[in-house]
Every structure is written in structure tokens, then in C-alpha cells.
A and B are shown apart, each in its own frame.
Chain A
């Protein structure tokens, strides 16, 4: 057989137009696909450090208060060492902001990198887009590198905005930070984003579906994260932890007074990213589309000709819960773990709150004299509220996917009234949220006494029920948006949730009027464990649920279905 190399065949007919696809086009497409995530990360990247600085300013009016605040934060640090690095100079605005704002942002940038990489490869393969790209005169290597470049550009933009938020926050706290320090900190942030992008890219070569790639990449990242966390409490593990991008990112503390930029660690982050992207590119060139690099031989299984005998699949609500049972298990496990973790440090966290004048108002606002109880009532239930809101957004995303993917068309082609689809979605969410929150509350109730917190059972039940109502409220807004504009439902809900999270934090700082607080879904939820039901909030949430799901049912009756 004769091998012909491109360009060697003089008799080949000339091809008009560009011979190779434009990498610029692919970069632009890649940037476009990151636009929503970029907007979210940019928003959080700016607001998170700035709000951390603002709360520092509010809590520390005098030098004595700053010193006390710093001591207590240092005392709290080890309790949270499994999540974030130990605080450094938390008596200064820059030190506190680094610990409270930037270390958490590291996680957000890491998760973004993972999600972007798995989406780039697997999501586009599942949607058939990759086949289209590769049918163009465009090599796999160029495609992968151009998309990596697009993510790098997006991540750089997010890092720059985060730097601006950091500088603004430090300035607001009357501190100062130089551009080189900001650049160094930004480089570490960019490095972790790219390294985790590399992990996601590599995972996408080894898994067949996007979900599989996310699980695999997430598991790897979790192990590396835990390794870093263990090294924080056991310095003997520093050497081993050096393979963890999280550890390498944590080493740089350039914005903290007296902190430093670790060039070697940051360079190692970029090196990890480069190696993983390179290996992924090799794997991508070797593997089949829609297949993992290593293919498992399918086992010989008997042919199935009959429908499933699973009775759950035949029952409304339960069929939907069964379909998402694995994801549900993850949400429930996350909820239980978070409850156990936060409540188990309620006592220490409470001591910090009680010792700082600025935070004492926070304790009193929680309707209790016990700082530890305030932590459970406000901190833990705020986190629970965030979890159920995120769950409701995930459900909304699922509904939008069902509508766009043709499942809704198939459902309403059966003899079921259209309103039933909306009602079933709402009921499924209620059952799922109830399971999550009830188990989380059970753990809360079980762990709280060890922290000296004695919770009223009635209050805990009320708080749990209201969490379900909160989830339903977010979902009602989602159902309403989906009825008209399904594509933007998730971004809209994300904006509502993030704004709702920050409004209670920023309102006192900027002296916003009282009604502004009621714009936050989380404020509407209140602190039911200690101050009882916030009735205004409850009725507003009920109204949103009625209007949202009522409107969604009405809209479903008239809306047009079909791709």
C-alpha cells in the first residue's frame, strides 16, 4: 500500500479556501462557552474578598479590637484547617481577607477548572459537537490546545477582577498592597485553575460520560485536597502534600503582610497543568470519540426483551427520584457531612464570635445569648439554606434539560395533563429536599449537645420545614422562568441565590433600608431555630411558591413544546 503525505500528491485537485481550521475561531467559541461561568466566578471573585474586608472593618474599630479579633481567629483556624489554610495575620485586613476570601476562592477556581475541562471534552462529545469540529480541517491537538487557551484567557480575566476586588477591599480597610503582591497571588490562583483544568481534561480521557469525568476528576481533586488538609494539621506530610495543587497554591500568601510569593510552587502549578494538558492531548489523539482511552470489553449479557419490573418507575414522583438516585445520594451525603462538620466546631466558632464586639451583634441577632447556639442557628442553617438552594437550582437545570432534550415532549404525548408535569416536578423536589434536610437536621440534633448546644426539637423541625419551603421557593422561580425562557433559568436563579447570599452581608455595611433585606431569599428564611418563624418571610415565600408554580402550570398549559 502506498502512503501519501499531505501536499506530496501533485495531481491532487487544488483546494480553495483555508486548508487548516482557524484556531482563533475555536478560541472564540471556547470563550463563548465559558461566558456564564466566567460571569459567576468574576462576580464572586470581586465580591468575596471585598465583603470579607468589609466585615473585618465592621468588626474591628480599634487596635485592641483588631488584636482580639486576630487572636480569636487564630484560635478558630485549626478547627477549619480541614477546609482552608491556617490564618496568617488575621488582625490585619489583608490577612483576614486572604483567609476568609481568597482561600475559599481557590476552591471555586479549582471546581471551575474541573467543570470547564470535562464540559469541553465530554459534554461536546455527548452533544455531537466534537464530531462536527473534527470533521473540519482541524487537528485534535489544535482543538484541545485552542480550548485550553480559551480557558486560560477566561481564568486570567477572572483573576484580574479578583485582584481588583482584593485591592478594593484592602483599601476599604485602610490597608495597602502592592501590584507585585497582587500579581503573585493572582498567579497562584490562575495556577490552581489551570492545574485543575488539567485534572479535568485528563479525567475526561478516561471516562465515557461527562458525569463520569466529573466524578473521576472530582475524586482525584478530593484526594489531593484532603492530602493538603492533612498536611496543614500534620506538617510531617508536607513533602507528600507537595504533589497537591491545593498545597502549592496555599503556599503563596503574597497579599498578607509579611507573606510571600512562592515562585517555585506557582511554577509547579503551571507545570502540572502543562503536563496534564500534554498527556490529555496524547490520549485524545489516540482514543476513539465517545470512548475512554482504555476500553473495557463489554461483558456478554443476555438480551433483554421485557420492560423493567421496578415498580418505582411506574409511579409518579418516585420514578423521578429513582432516576436521580445516585445524584440524590451525593446531595444527602454532602448535607450530612456539612452538618457534622459545622456543628462539631460550633463551640470554638462561638467563642470567636463572643469575643469580638462586632460579632456580638451577630450573636444577639440570632436571638440567643449562646454564641455556639448562634453558630448552629445562623451559620449552619445558612449553609443548609445555601445547599438546598443549590439543590433546587440543580433540579431546575434538570427540568430545563428535560424540556430541551425532548423528554417533556414524550411525557405530554402520553395521556397526562400538562399541569401534572409541573406538579410532579415540585413534589419530587419537596420529597428530595425533605430527605436531605431531615437527615442533616438529625445529624445537627445529634452532634449539637457535644458542643454544649441544646436545641429545641420543635425549633429544629420548624427550621427543617422552612428549608424545604426555601427549596420550593427557589424551584418555583425556576419553574416560572423555564416556562418562558428555559435557557436562562439556571443563570437567573444563580444570580438570585448569590445576590440573596450577599444582601444580608452588605446591607448593614452600606446601611440599606430594611425592605432591601427581604429581597434576599435567605433573609426570608430567617433564623427559625432561635428566633422562631419570620412570618413576613414565610408568607413571601409561600406567595412565591403559589405564584411560581401556579404561573408555571398556567404557562405549561399554553406553552409550545418541541425542539
Chain B
């Protein structure tokens, strides 16, 4: 399948370990690709690099084979874009903003705009500054979807949208995908990606840590294990087992996570008298959080409340 987005070693180094580093990514034509990561992980930087808003420190990005930095105008002819933060259009009415942006693209189809505003329940007669944050987002979606494009780049598109409009948005994405449009959707909401995307890339601290189909993410899942021992817990031996992480011991109880096969761990456990053994599968949300957790971060201390003494 043809590639819609390709990046090779794409890097934007803002210094102090901030930015995006060595991104190698392929998004296929017609695919709905979710780009997941916590705040500050580099999602918006990636999008801005692809949209030629910021310039890479090194590496390159292509959209449908066209270099994003060398031929930005050609790239943007193919792209519908929703920025993470909507511009401040001030006193302009929604209909003026649509006409203005339409003018920049050389014209627009009023029927298409009308259809979108109907579905998103947006009144274009009001001034932009009177819009709620959700209505501003809706206007952004209209601006992104109102032109026939081959790729939709949407930065956290459902921020501020109510659940009903979110459902309508997902339908718009499905229809676009059905027409062969590629969708690149950044989010930090797993449920949104699960609902709309076929494949996801997970970013952490500016690095792509995983690209997988949604069903493959389930294969990546680990197991949480708890075991009660009659005697001493063989903590050192357990820690030495490949795939075992987050080992903690409390009295005679061992807790850990197990990635991959259980065999090597069971061999270690089998040498001791195990009174009780429990494992459970994490939810997809937990898988997601595991990827987002920064290994450098210390364990969170409980937050004192106003009533704490």
C-alpha cells in the first residue's frame, strides 16, 4: 500500500531533552492512524514538522512522497489541518472565517460547509469570540474537513467537544477513511484512538516507543502477578528473571509484572513453597499507561489533602 506519511530520522531538538527525536514512521494511504502520547511528548511537534510550521534539526518528512520542507505549498494542497489550539479570530463571524480560509485555498463548496455545520450543529452567524471552546473546535473541524483533501492532520480533535458531537466526528473520520482519505489523529485519550483508529504510534519523551495495530497492543500486554510464600520471598532470583519488572516484596508477598512467557518465572517460584498465586491481565488503558510512564519518574507520593494532619 502506498505511503501517505513517511518520516526518516525526523528530529526537532529544542534543547534540554525537549522536542522530537529520530522519528521513523510510515502511515499508509487510507489508514486512520492514532498518535498517542502524554502532554509534551512531541505529538504537536511532529504535526508542526509535517505541516512545515517548524523546521527539523535533522531528518525529513514526506507526505504522499512530497518533501514537507522543500515543497510545503504542494503538501498543504493535499492536507486538511486542525491545529491543537484554535487561532484568535476575534470579532469575525464564523461564516467570515470560513470564507476567508476558503479564499486562501482558492474557493470552497458552500454545500459541503453547510453539511458539516449541520452535522456538527455549528452556527456560523455568531462572532468567533462569542463561541464556546467546543464551538471553536467545531469551527476548526469545519475548516479541516471543508476541502477535499487526501490527508487529514488533526491535533487533539475532540478537545472540548461534547459526546454527541464526538460521535459525529468519529463518523466523519470513518466516512473520510471510506473515501480513501488518510487520517493522522493525535490524542492523549486512548478511548478516542480505540474508537477511530486502526493503528497507533505511542510517543514518550519525544521518542516513538511503539507502533502497533490496536489488536497487537493487546499482545503487548503484560500480566500482573502476586504470590504468597510460606517462607522468605526469593526476590533476587525473581528480579533476575528476564521479562519480570516492578518487583516489590511486602512480608511474604511478592508482586511483579511479567512480560512474555511465564515459564522462567515459574521455575524460580517452584523452588519455594507458594501458598497462593494470582495473576491478572491489565486493561488496554493500563497498557497505555505503562508506555506513558516515565521510567525516570519516582513513584508518586500521596498528595496531602486539606484535611491531612
* Residues of chain A whose beta carbon lies under 8 Å from any beta carbon of chain B: 13-16, 126, 209, 211, 301-310, 313-316, 319, 323, 401, 405-407, 409-418, 558, 560-563
Identity of the chain A residue whose Cβ is nearest the Cβ of B116 in the assembled complex = A305
| Contact across chains for A409 and B103 when beta carbons are under 8 A apart | no
CA distance A303 to B94 in the complex (A): 11
Q: Among the interface residues A302, A319, A562, A563, which one has the most CB atoms of the partner chain B within 10 A?
A: A562
Interface range for B: 35 or more
Nearest-neighbour CB distance to chain B for A167, whole angstroms, equals 45
| Contact across chains for B88 and A406 when beta carbons are under 8 A apart | yes
B97-116 CB contact bits vs A (8 Å, 1 = yes)?
Answer: 01111111111101001100
Interface segment, B71-79, B204-212, B287-295?
A: B71-79
Identity of the chain B residue whose Cβ is nearest the Cβ of A310 in the assembled complex = B99
| Contact across chains for B86 and A413 when beta carbons are under 8 A apart | no
B100 contacts across to A, CB distance below 8 A: 313-314, 319, 323
11 residue pairs of the A-B complex, CB under 8 angstroms, read A209-B129, A305-B113, A308-B95, A314-B99, A407-B87, A410-B87, A413-B81, A413-B83, A414-B76, A415-B104, A562-B53
Option from A211, A407, A558 in Cβ contact (under 8 Å) with B55: A558
| Contact across chains for A416 and B104 when beta carbons are under 8 A apart | yes
Option from B55, B76, B89, B113 in Cβ contact (under 8 Å) with A413: B76
| Contact across chains for A560 and B55 when beta carbons are under 8 A apart | yes
| Contact across chains for B83 and A409 when beta carbons are under 8 A apart | yes
Option from A14, A306, A316 in Cβ contact (under 8 Å) with B124: A306
Identity of the chain B residue whose Cβ is nearest the Cβ of A126 in the assembled complex = B129
| Contact across chains for B108 and A307 when beta carbons are under 8 A apart | yes
| Contact across chains for B54 and A561 when beta carbons are under 8 A apart | yes
Option from A211, A301, A308, A414 in Cβ contact (under 8 Å) with B96: A308
In this assembly, does B239 line the interface, its C-beta being within 8 Å of a C-beta of chain A?
no
A405 contacts across to B, CB distance below 8 A: 87-88
In this assembly, does B117 line the interface, its C-beta being within 8 Å of a C-beta of chain A?
yes
CA distance A303 to B51 in the complex (A): 33
| Contact across chains for A563 and B85 when beta carbons are under 8 A apart | yes
B76 contacts across to A, CB distance below 8 A: 412-416
Contact (A560, B86) CB under 8 Å given A303-B123, A307-B99, A416-B104? no
| Contact across chains for B104 and A414 when beta carbons are under 8 A apart | yes
Identity of the chain B residue whose Cβ is nearest the Cβ of A303 in the assembled complex = B123
B179 contacts across to A, CB distance below 8 A: none
CA distance A401 to B44 in the complex (A): 21
Given pairs A409-B53, A413-B53, A563-B85, 12 additional interface contacts (CB within 8 A) = A14-B307, A304-B95, A304-B123, A305-B122, A306-B117, A307-B95, A307-B99, A308-B95, A406-B83, A412-B52, A413-B79, A560-B53
Option from B92, B105, B108, B114 in Cβ contact (under 8 Å) with A415: B105
CA distance A414 to B74 in the complex (A): 10
Identity of the chain B residue whose Cβ is nearest the Cβ of A16 in the assembled complex = B306
Q: Among the interface residues B93, B95, B108, which one has the most CB atoms of the partner chain A within 10 A?
A: B95
| Contact across chains for A306 and B114 when beta carbons are under 8 A apart | yes
In this assembly, does B118 line the interface, its C-beta being within 8 Å of a C-beta of chain A?
yes
Identity of the chain B residue whose Cβ is nearest the Cβ of A302 in the assembled complex = B125
CA distance A409 to B124 in the complex (A): 21
| Contact across chains for B118 and A319 when beta carbons are under 8 A apart | no
Identity of the chain B residue whose Cβ is nearest the Cβ of A322 in the assembled complex = B96
Nearest-neighbour CB distance to chain A for B128, whole angstroms, equals 11
* Residues of chain B whose beta carbon lies under 8 Å from any beta carbon of chain A: 44, 48, 51-55, 72-74, 76-77, 79, 81, 83, 85-89, 91-96, 98-108, 110, 113-114, 117-118, 122-125, 129, 143, 305-307
CA distance A547 to B270 in the complex (A): 80
B77 contacts across to A, CB distance below 8 A: 415
Identity of the chain B residue whose Cβ is nearest the Cβ of A301 in the assembled complex = B125
CA distance A306 to B89 in the complex (A): 18
CA distance A407 to B88 in the complex (A): 7
| Contact across chains for A314 and B107 when beta carbons are under 8 A apart | yes
Option from B87, B104, B306 in Cβ contact (under 8 Å) with A13: B306
Nearest-neighbour CB distance to chain A for B73, whole angstroms, equals 5
B96 contacts across to A, CB distance below 8 A: 308, 310, 313, 323
Identity of the chain A residue whose Cβ is nearest the Cβ of B45 in the assembled complex = A562
Contact (A307, B87) CB under 8 Å given A319-B100, A412-B53? no
CA distance A412 to B129 in the complex (A): 22
| Contact across chains for A562 and B118 when beta carbons are under 8 A apart | no
Option from A302, A305, A308, A411 in Cβ contact (under 8 Å) with B99: A308
B125 contacts across to A, CB distance below 8 A: 301-304
A304 contacts across to B, CB distance below 8 A: 93-95, 123-125
Nearest-neighbour CB distance to chain B for A35, whole angstroms, equals 24
| Contact across chains for A305 and B48 when beta carbons are under 8 A apart | no
Option from A15, A410, A417 in Cβ contact (under 8 Å) with B101: A410
| Contact across chains for A406 and B53 when beta carbons are under 8 A apart | no
Nearest-neighbour CB distance to chain B for A487, whole angstroms, equals 16
A16 contacts across to B, CB distance below 8 A: 306
| Contact across chains for A313 and B99 when beta carbons are under 8 A apart | yes
CA distance A126 to B91 in the complex (A): 12
CA distance A406 to B98 in the complex (A): 16
| Contact across chains for A305 and B73 when beta carbons are under 8 A apart | no
CA distance A15 to B125 in the complex (A): 47
Nearest-neighbour CB distance to chain A for B96, whole angstroms, equals 5
| Contact across chains for B54 and A305 when beta carbons are under 8 A apart | no
| Contact across chains for A415 and B73 when beta carbons are under 8 A apart | yes
Nearest-neighbour CB distance to chain A for B91, whole angstroms, equals 8
Nearest-neighbour CB distance to chain A for B207, whole angstroms, equals 21
| Contact across chains for A560 and B94 when beta carbons are under 8 A apart | no
CA distance A304 to B44 in the complex (A): 32
Q: Among the interface residues A209, A310, A415, A561, which one has the most CB atoms of the partner chain B within 10 A?
A: A415
Identity of the chain A residue whose Cβ is nearest the Cβ of B12 in the assembled complex = A560
CA distance A563 to B103 in the complex (A): 24
Identity of the chain A residue whose Cβ is nearest the Cβ of B120 in the assembled complex = A305
**Nearest 7 interchain pairs by C-beta:** A304-B125, A314-B103, A406-B87, A13-B307, A405-B88, A307-B98, A308-B99
A415 contacts across to B, CB distance below 8 A: 73-74, 76-77, 104-106
Identity of the chain A residue whose Cβ is nearest the Cβ of B100 in the assembled complex = A313
CA distance A410 to B103 in the complex (A): 13
| Contact across chains for A14 and B99 when beta carbons are under 8 A apart | no
| Contact across chains for A306 and B73 when beta carbons are under 8 A apart | no
